[in-house]
Amino acid sequence: MSTTFETRYASSPQAVKQYDTNQLRDEFLIPDLMQNGKIKFVYTHYDRYMAGGAVPTSDLRLETIDPLKAEFFLERRELGIINVGEAGSITVDGETYKMNHKDALYIGKGAKDVVFKSDDAQNPAKFYMNSAPAHKTYPTKKTSLAEANKIELGTLETANHRTVSQMIIGGIVTTCQLQMGMTELKTGSVWNTMPAHVHDRRMEIYFYLDVPEDQAVCHFMGQPQETRHIWMHNHQAVISPPWSIHSGSGTSNYTFIWGMAGENLDYGDMDVAKITDLR
């Protein structure tokens, strides 16, 4: 079987205050989603959200996993995918979607047969995946990076000049609750999502990419007055509970994919924490 998974349970903010570095990383860091020839998922108990990676050195078929108690993976779920590797394709119930670097694909509830392929097995595609429970079927749709809704935020003076590309989000793709997109920092900028915020109505996962091999990103989490940090590297993900900020600063510029789900589809639904109030 080419699919593996692990489960992460929810942690309260009171408990997280007591975690040391290793426990914090064990609970929230996902270091190994991209494994050649495999599909790997982490099933979280935050809004039943899942993060995964598929690296097809030969064809990989999306299989159900035990926690879903489902006949097929998307029986009661929707799926968002962004290719962070080389060119490949995804076939959904017989229809094939060409997936270049940083292309996104939304697959709606009910799709039974999903197959991942690389154009070149020696230089494979790397499909980063997010999945959330779904109550209704919406059409499968591809969004290229060029087709995304782009928002310019921050300034070079505050080291957070960045482009937010909304890819799987209302107005572009209709979903039940899943939202995904990509934020690219400009050269000379290192801070993402600053000022930081929380949104108690949604959880989130960040996936960092374009991080040079000899560089790193320090990801900040926790309640605004009780923050913690996790050092991260390329193609690693981090779980952000609804009560936690999610922000990072790198030793160089980089890109990250944000994915979220929960009670509200309003992208602007957030409670901003003043920079001067962070502790």
Provide the percentage of residues in the chain whose pLDDT is more than 90.
Answer: 95
pLDDT tens across 225-270, in order? 999 999 999 999 999 999 999 999 999 999 999 999 998 888 878 8
pLDDT score of 205 more than 80: yes
Q: How far apart are CA 93 and CA 104, in angstroms?
A: 18
pLDDT score of 1 more than 90: no
CA-wise closest residue to 81 among 130, 14, 139 = 130
SS3 14: helix
Binding residues for Zn(2+): 197, 199, 204, 246
Q: How far apart are CA 189 and CA 197, in angstroms?
A: 19
The stretch 80-93 carries a mean pLDDT of 98
**Considering Cα of 143, then 146, then 149, then 155, what sign does the dihedral take?**
positive
pLDDT score of 2 more than 90: no
The stretch 18-42 carries a mean pLDDT of 98
Q: Which are the contacts of 123, defined by CB distance < 8 A and separation ≥ 6?
A: 85, 86
3-277: what CATH class? mainly beta
The pLDDT score that the predictor gives to residue 170 is 93
Binding residues: 197, 199, 204, 246
Q: How far apart are CA 152 and CA 251, in angstroms?
A: 21
pLDDT tens across 162-179, in order? 999 999 999 999 999 999
Q: Map out the domains of the chain as residue ranges.
A: 3-277
Using the structure block, give the residue that is written with the tokens 């999306």. 62
If 0-12 CB within 10 Å is exposed, 13-18 middle and 19+ buried, where does residue 101 land? Answer: middle
